Structure 1
Amino acid sequence: MSIKRVRYYLFLKDILALSLTAFGGPQAFLAMLLERMVKVRNYITEDELWELNALCNMLPGPSSTQLISAIGFRVGGPNLAYLALLVWIIPATLIMIAAAALIYFLQEASPDALNFAKFIQPMAIGFIIFAAQKTISKMVQTTEAMVLVLISTFVAFFYSSPFVFPVLLVIGGLSTSIKYKKQPKLEQDEPLRIQWANFYLWGGVLILAAVLGALTRYQPVLLFENFYRNGSLIFGGGQVLVPYLYAEFVDFKNFLSSEEFLTGYAISQGIPGPTFSISSFVGALSMREYGLIGFLTGGLIAAAGIFLPGIFMIFFVIRFWDQLKKYRPVRAALEGINAVSCGMLIAAAYLLFEPLEANFLNILMILGAYSLLQFTKISSPWIILGGILLGILNNWLF
């Protein structure tokens, strides 16, 4: 076996280890990447890691998955990147499909089966509030950005249609791109050269899925189009995905109940791997009427739809990113896009709370989850497990 093949094998083995142990959100994930990919294996330098992380945060789609793929691309080209993608997402995807099937069959057996999740449903809102606070503190630095946060919060709350969100993102980006003169000038060493193949692939799949969905009205095709469209529009990581999925699949299409969605979101916070795996849970329950085959098909279709756009985009942009990032309007537009994403997060926290009973216990669980995340070093899986145990104990005692 050649040295190159051994290196590729070790890389995929390291990705598998990450997919099974990467608990604790983006900060813990980056720390694990720095330790394993840079210090131990020396696949890339530390500067390259931070540069690729910045690029992935600026693109739509799942940033952790894009970062894994980008590192794989640097190490062994597109083939290794696609293999790394599969190794990274499959464990979390299968766990969330299994969770969806389990919750469905428990509910079929007993209408009160979700009582074990009685406390983790409001705790999930605490997770979103914590994510919103962290995201806002990082991404919102100007008065204009804060105004955009407030406007997008208001619009996303009162008009929760999934078609409103992309419009808000475009308006947000355009509104701050006009301030490009405030960005420092960066000299272009060479002309911008763009290879358009992956962009055409991204756009072609988007159009084809929309046309086939409209013509056939076949649910698996429609499901793929829904998730592919959402995956093409999400800036800011998995927590920003929540209001999109809730608006489309709970409010708009009624494929899931609010309780089911909150339970799935809480579970996704307690497992390793990409936070976008919540999509597999939603996709699986969206096809529950087809039985076990429907769960597996819906979960895998959702995973393909949500992850593919970001992968196409990172493969498209990474080839000319060094030149593109020097254009001031591009950098300026990101401020507005990020601000709108933050506003959607705030709206999501309230929209998810609205169906819950506004009692003392639910509010206590929300504040408790937020406080544990904010003021302690207890990781997300232990907080979720604690909420499940409290729910089981409550059922047993009362």
Structure 2
Amino acid sequence: MQKIDSSSSAFKEIILSFLKLGLTSFGGPIAHIGYFHHEFVIKKKWIDEKTFVELTALCQFLPGPASSQLGMAIGYIRGKFWGSLIAWLLFTLPSAILMLAVYIGISGFANDKTEFIIQGLQIAAVTIVLHAVANMAIRFSNTAAKASISVFTMVACILIPFTFLQVILILLSGILGKFIFTEAESADANTANASVKIPKSSIVMFVLFFMLLLLLPIFSRIYENTSLSIFESFYTAGSLVFGGGHVVLPFLESEVVSRFGVSQDVFMAGYGAAQAVPGPLFAFSSYLGAAVTKEYMYLHSSLALTAIFLPSFLLILAALPVWEKWKSYAFMKSAMIAINACVVGILAAALYQPIWSHSIRNKEDFSLMVLLFLALQFWKLPSWSVIILAVGVKTAFHFIS
């Protein structure tokens, strides 16, 4: 691990670097990791290649948005607690403000005359999630065993409408992976009994993470306060989603649409718009928080945004001091092979319901989606251009017809 620098010049560099990335990092989580590598390993040399790879691996092990967690970790190395907080805030704030503006625009002008814009955003969302599923399947479901885990997970999620089913499937997959992917452990068998001394600061952060996860649902049901319920819902989503990005969709859809009564059209339009802005996809929470009630739009937007990222912040602060030992546990590697395959299945189920079933309404929508997928998968167009194309085509069809 690199030496921590908490000087004033370091904070200035953190502010400038992450604000720039927050304004320019299009392309989703994988692209963000590439931006971070170029900025902090190649250009600024804040960390070396080995440390960057180790941090990326750590963030893949933790629930939550991996790219945002990587930014938090780099900020921590550069400026401890405040460096991590500033890194997250400036990487996230531009996209959060843009998503809030999108909701204000949609809620202020949405009517029959602008419905085609929402439909275009929905079709773009289908295309982008399909692209994510296809590429994740190629990488994480490329053997019979992995594909079986993915397919069984997908079928279970489609047939069994249970809110926490995804969490149960992830845990079961991790346990199963320990026994069927033993080849991942063979190279590290000598580390299986390594001891880990956990610092007090890590214990405090872990305890706080689990206390909030357990107590927030209880208090939100006792007091029946909308603001508290929003914070609890988004904190839970940020705590239980492995794979980040698109995988959070079924969790948020269940909570925001079913629990808070946000319309499916508004939900999917926002999700489509989230693909076209820079920064983390979890900034979609800013849009959703505002959509719950117009009366306290700005408060709820801020609460949702803070709550969905708070678990990642606590886990990064807890895990960084013990990561050097934790990563040596061979069983983590075999478990993550199965968990990654499970995540593919969860995302595939979300693609079918609610995304595909709600957004692809006729043969014209299907044809447009196929062409957009071709552009995204094979022509390598950026995701923001797919959004523009989808809305542009639906707009043209609207005025022609």
TM norm structure 2: 0.92
Matched length: 390
Tell me the amino acid that sits aligned with residue 268 of structure 2.
L
Q: 2:322 aligns with which of 313, 320, 323?
A: 320
**CA displacement at 1:332 relative to structure 2:** 1.7
Give the SS at the match of 2:67: helix
Q: 2:349 aligns with which of 347, 350, 353?
A: 347
Counterpart contact for 2:29–2:280, Cα < 8 Å: no
Alpha-carbon distance change, 154 to 3 in structure 1, aligned in 2, over 3 angstroms: closer
Counterpart contact for 1:53–1:67, Cα < 8 Å: yes
Larger displacement relative to structure 2 (241-250 or 274-283): 241-250
Counterpart contact for 1:231–1:305, Cα < 8 Å: yes
Counterpart contact for 2:120–2:387, Cα < 8 Å: no
Alpha-carbon distance change, 202 to 146 in structure 1, aligned in 2, over 3 angstroms: same
- For residue 246 of structure 2, what is the aligned residue in structure 1? 239
How much identity, in percent, do the aligned residues show? 26
Counterpart contact for 1:116–1:388, Cα < 8 Å: yes
Gap runs ≥5 in structure 2: none
Tell me the amino acid that sits aligned with residue 369 of structure 1.
L
Distance in 2 (CA, whole Å) between partners of 1:220 and 1:92 is 22
Give the SS at the match of 1:354: helix
Give the SS at the match of 1:319: helix
Q: 1:208 aligns with which of 206, 215, 224?
A: 215
- For residue 61 of structure 1, what is the aligned residue in structure 2? 64
Distance in 2 (CA, whole Å) between partners of 1:3 and 1:139 is 39
Cα shift readout 1:203-223 (whole Å, capped 9, x = no counterpart):
122233222202101011111
**CA displacement at 1:141 relative to structure 2:** 4.0
- For residue 31 of structure 2, what is the aligned residue in structure 1? 28
- For residue 86 of structure 2, what is the aligned residue in structure 1? 83
Larger displacement relative to structure 2 (128-137 or 175-184): 175-184
Distance in 1 (CA, whole Å) between partners of 2:71 and 2:375 is 29
- For residue 108 of structure 2, what is the aligned residue in structure 1? 105
Distance in 1 (CA, whole Å) between partners of 2:379 and 2:360 is 27
Larger displacement relative to structure 2 (172-181 or 38-47): 172-181
Tell me the amino acid that sits aligned with residue 70 of structure 2.
L
TM norm structure 1: 0.92
**CA displacement at 1:91 relative to structure 2:** 1.3
Distance in 2 (CA, whole Å) between partners of 1:357 and 1:12 is 42
- For residue 177 of structure 1, what is the aligned residue in structure 2? 178
Counterpart contact for 2:196–2:322, Cα < 8 Å: yes
- Are positions 1:281 and 2:281 aligned together? no
Q: 1:249 aligns with which of 248, 252, 256?
A: 256
What does 1:1-398 correspond to in 2, within 5 Å?
4-107=7-110, 110-179=111-180, 181-182=182-183, 183-184=185-186, 185-188=188-191, 191-195=195-199, 196-250=203-257, 252-253=258-259, 255-288=261-294, 290=295, 294-351=296-353, 352-356=355-359, 358-398=361-401
Give the alignment's Cα RMSD to 1 decimal: 2.0
Counterpart contact for 2:247–2:343, Cα < 8 Å: yes
Distance in 1 (CA, whole Å) between partners of 2:260 and 2:143 is 38
Give the SS at the match of 2:321: coil
Counterpart contact for 2:73–2:320, Cα < 8 Å: yes
Cα shift readout 1:232-291 (whole Å, capped 9, x = no counterpart):
1111120111122123323x3362222222211111100000011122222211223x2x
Larger displacement relative to structure 2 (32-41 or 213-222): 32-41
Distance in 1 (CA, whole Å) between partners of 2:331 and 2:370 is 40
Distance in 2 (CA, whole Å) between partners of 1:162 and 1:101 is 29
Runs (4 or more) in structure 1 with deviation over 6 Å come to none
Distance in 1 (CA, whole Å) between partners of 2:239 and 2:369 is 31
Counterpart contact for 2:103–2:287, Cα < 8 Å: yes
**CA displacement at 1:186 relative to structure 2:** 4.8
**CA displacement at 1:59 relative to structure 2:** 0.9
Gap runs ≥5 in structure 1: none
**CA displacement at 1:394 relative to structure 2:** 2.8
Tell me the amino acid that sits aligned with residue 316 of structure 1.
A
Distance in 2 (CA, whole Å) between partners of 1:176 and 1:27 is 24
**CA displacement at 1:190 relative to structure 2:** 6.2
Give the SS at the match of 1:331: helix
**CA displacement at 1:57 relative to structure 2:** 1.3
Distance in 2 (CA, whole Å) between partners of 1:186 and 1:90 is 43
Counterpart contact for 1:269–1:275, Cα < 8 Å: yes
Tell me the amino acid that sits aligned with residue 249 of structure 1.
V
